[in-house]
Amino acid sequence: MKLLSSMIFTTLFLLGSNLSVLPIYGHASPVTYIPKPNEIIDLAKDSLPEAVTITFTEAPEPRASGLKVINSNNERVDNDDLKVSESDDSISVSLNDSKIIPGVYTTDWLVLSKDDGHITKGTYVFSVKENISSISGSLSNEQNLTQGLQSYGDTTMGYSKNITTKDDVVLKFDIMPFKVGQNTFNLSAFYTNGSPVENIRNIYLQFDNTVKDLGPIFTIMERSSAGNYTSTGAFLSQPGTWEIKITVQRIGEYDINQEFKLNLKS
């Protein structure tokens, strides 16, 4: 698992903002995903794909490969009907429409390459969004107002953590609203004298839930201003204990690596 994490993380370093995985070590690595990682499927205008499909750089071995899709309750929502296509080196499972409701879904995959005999595995998330307009239309104005206030109240809670490194860099990490599903992750990197850290090439976040065998899930943060970075996604796809690793890649200096655990309630 550690070797695999290193492989994927090295890949992310080389790719920058492109989250596709290339064959750094010649193993079977994902090329395309349906749905895409962190995609939000809006049921008001988009149709749900019939299956989750991942295409790889090498041919998967059917007898030792797997793919499953689970909801926030850790329940499978696919039909457990793995198909391996030799024509395009893909694996897929069909989705059980009756089990798909608005929420966040985690896709866990494992592939044994026919070409080199190595195993790779990974995790990514996608979300299904309900038709808010149709629901809002059936509520009274008072109900809509109450619902809006509750939503606003949730976003004022969040999660925050401050870290000061040995080289006097202060990292402030925030998660809003800190719940299962879509969250906004903000990170600021400033020296103790108040000046921003300017020599940052990339900031990577890695999410793991070892109890439920989820992860690693990766994302690359975007720069919003000097010293400030942000990312939005449903990476915290289930309640429970999550391990988060922050890697700040700096030009001309060592990377900053910080790891910590947090408990996400349902």
The residue ranges of every structural domain in the chain are 2-129, 155-264
User: In 10 A of CB 146, how many CB atoms?
Assistant: 12
For the structural domain made of 155-264, what CATH number should be given? 2.60.40.3340
Give me the pLDDT at residue 11, please.
42
Structure confidence at residue 28 (pLDDT): 82
CA distance 156 to 118: 46
Amino acid at 58: E
Q: In this predicted structure, what is the pLDDT of residue 114?
A: 87
Residue with tokens 């104005």: 141
The pLDDT value given to residue 238: 95
Distance (Å, rounded) from C-alpha 53 to C-alpha 2? 25
Q: How many residues in total does the chain contain? A: 266
Q: What is the pLDDT of residue 19?
A: 43
163 token code pair: 């870290």
Per-residue pLDDT tens digits of the chain, which is 266 residues long: 444 444 444 444 333 333 433 334 457 889 999 999 999 999 888 899 999 999 999 999 999 999 999 999 999 999 999 999 989 999 999 999 999 999 999 999 999 998 888 899 899 999 998 765 443 343 333 333 233 323 333 344 799 999 999 999 999 999 999 999 999 999 999 999 999 999 999 999 999 999 999 999 999 999 999 999 999 999 999 999 999 999 999 999 999 999 999 999 98
Residue 99 has which token pair? 């089990």
Residue 157 confidence (pLDDT) = 75
Residue appearing with tokens 């690596």: 257
Q: With CA atoms as reference, report the closest residue to 36 among 99, 105, 88.
A: 105
The CATH class of 2-129 is: mainly beta
* Contact in structure between 168 and 191 (CB atoms under 8 Å): yes
155-264 has the same fold as 2-129? yes
Residues 83 and 89: their CA atoms lie apart, in Å, by 11
